[in-house]
Structure 1
Amino acid sequence: MQKRYTKQEQAFIQKVRQTAGKAINQYNMISADDTVMVAVSGGKDSLALLEILSSRRKGMPIHYNIHAAHIITEDVPYQIDTVWLQQFCEDLNVTLHLVTTKANLATAGKKKPCFACSRNRRKELFQLTHSLGIKKLAFGHHLDDAVETLVMNMAQHANISSIPAQLQMFENKLEVIRPLILLTNAEMKEYARLLNFQSLKKECPYEDHTIRQKARDIVEQMTSINPKARINLYNSMKKIDFEYLP
């Protein structure tokens, strides 16, 4: 039985979908007859991205194909409910690919397990999209992810950089897109709650949120001073006044 939404809830759901559509159009992420691979970790953001792209497709005058990929890493104690995910994708008319691999943490050397696992999952995603001839790979990163990454890179690497909405890779053979880039974490949480997306992820014991959490705390402190700080930080990356820098 389909859930009934209030007018306010319906308006919010529509706003989120329209904002994702705005990002897609602004950065020309998806065109007619494209095939898009969505990286599905099992968290709320990747599930929401999959649903938004699918629902958006129904009302578009153009058609595009959607595939989803989840990487199963055997030697990492992290699992999702793949049976639920398969049904979810079937309901959305999305082709699902489950890829099993190993992170080989024992041979990762000094690199942290989380880094080694993440790098391996990215490698598998790139190989899968290439083998299928798919040229667009979508991730569920949102505006908060971009702002936190900006703060982290400035503090850790003395570098002004973040996660772009759109990125050409491998000599333009693959395009990474992030349709949720204009949406906040709070908006994605509420969207997932309304559509009853339960996170399929189980926390990995290797996962370390320390640095990102500190960056998140800094952003929250700025937001307490100015409610617009989060969006201002994001927009500042497009408004760099070089003549007023050292």
Structure 2
Amino acid sequence: MKSIEEIEKSLQKKFRKELFTPFIHALKEFNMVQEGDRIAVAVSGGKDSLLLSKLFQELKRISDVNFEVFFISMNPGFSTMNLENMKSNLKNMGIDCEIYDDNVFEIAKKMSDLRNSKKPCYMCARLRRGSLYTKATSLGCNKLALGHHMDDVVETTMMSMLYMGKFETMLPKLKADNFDIELIRPLFYIEEKNIKRFMKHNEIYAMNCGCEVASGIIESKRREIKELIASLEEKDKDIKKRIMQSVFNVNIEKILAFKYKKDKISVYDNYTVIINKEGK
């Protein structure tokens, strides 16, 4: 791995356009960082959360906005090798991160076994999110930052249509249902390929999922969508960006029905929907 100074310089110079600029774009467009915020950055040990941590460090260094940032990492049951690898990366990248234990892998496996499910990943994700919310609120944080990037948004949008029969996407920020905290996704406009380039350039070897249950297997449906998008990009390099644009350009006059909260509304109904700027 390159030195902390070299890593930070590459973020400021070589990868500024591909990483720091879209990071700032998302923060400004969706008003993610405000005066007085206490932001917990969730660090999984993967490439996305490591980049997110360095971006927040750079933001803290240059920003005029007064906010606090905390780096937290849950050990859900990593192997000794994975845990030591993560600790080494954090130290060598200059990320002061609090690691706490919460045996999510084992709990997710037991719950999946009880339900005869062969897919513990969904259960694991929910348990991890709840654990991170709890930890963040215990630190007095009002926001939790996750490392989902543009490819995650595009893939989720496609999966909802092709496998779930509905159109929905991964939101850049949202209020937690059961916690007084807001979730933000500052990598919303950053492409995964550029994160990989940053990692390779700086010789950072981040771990993947680290799950002892799924053994690093990518969810099959998401893998299929990744492959589909990659094949479409061979013919049209901008296909991913246009899918991304579609989530901002839903024309309700040209669809048969839509849902708002618990209500399903048909375009052929006589209806009036009033939504103010706060979405109430």
The alignment's TM-score, normalised by the length of structure 1, stands at 0.87
Superposition deviation, residue 45 in structure 1? 0.6
Cα deviation per residue 1:11-34 (whole Å; 9 max; x = unaligned)?
432221121011111111011231
Cα deviation per residue 1:163-189 (whole Å; 9 max; x = unaligned)?
111111237821111111101011111
Alignment of 1:75-90 (within 5 A): 79-81=82-84, 82-88=86-92
Aligned counterpart in structure 1 of residue 76 of structure 2, from 73, 78, 91: 73
Aligned-residue sequence identity (percent) comes to 22
Whether 1:107 and 2:111 are equivalent positions in the alignment is yes
Query: Residues 149 and 189 of structure 2 are in contact (CA less than 8 Å); yes or no, is this contact kept in structure 1?
Result: yes
1:58 counterpart residue number: 61
In the superposition, relative to structure 1, how do residues 201 and 220 fare at CA in structure 2: closer, same or farther (>3 Å)?
closer
Query: Residues 38 and 67 of structure 2 are in contact (CA less than 8 Å); yes or no, is this contact kept in structure 1?
Result: yes
Q: What secondary structure is seen at the aligned counterpart in 1 of 2:64?
A: coil
In structure 2, list runs of 5 or more residues that go unmatched: 257-280
Whether 1:242 and 2:252 are equivalent positions in the alignment is yes
Alignment of 1:1-150 (within 5 A): 11-15=13-17, 16-74=19-77, 79-81=82-84, 82-88=86-92, 91-92=94-95, 94-102=96-104, 103-104=106-107, 105-108=109-112, 109-111=115-117, 112-150=119-157
Aligned-residue Cα RMSD (Å) equals 2.7
- Residue type at the aligned position of 2:244: Y
Aligned counterpart in structure 2 of residue 177 of structure 1, from 175, 178, 184: 184
Aligned counterpart in structure 2 of residue 215 of structure 1, from 225, 230, 250: 225
In structure 1, list runs of 5 or more residues that go unmatched: none
Superposition deviation, residue 130 in structure 1? 1.9
* Pair member with larger Rg: 2
Superposition deviation, residue 154 in structure 1? 0.8
Q: What secondary structure is seen at the aligned counterpart in 2 of 1:79?
A: helix
In the superposition, relative to structure 1, how do residues 148 and 77 fare at CA in structure 2: closer, same or farther (>3 Å)?
farther
Q: Distance in 1 between matches of 2:204 and 2:78?
A: 27
The alignment's TM-score, normalised by the length of structure 2, stands at 0.77
Query: Residues 80 and 201 of structure 1 are in contact (CA less than 8 Å); yes or no, is this contact kept in structure 2?
Result: no
Superposition deviation, residue 55 in structure 1? 1.2
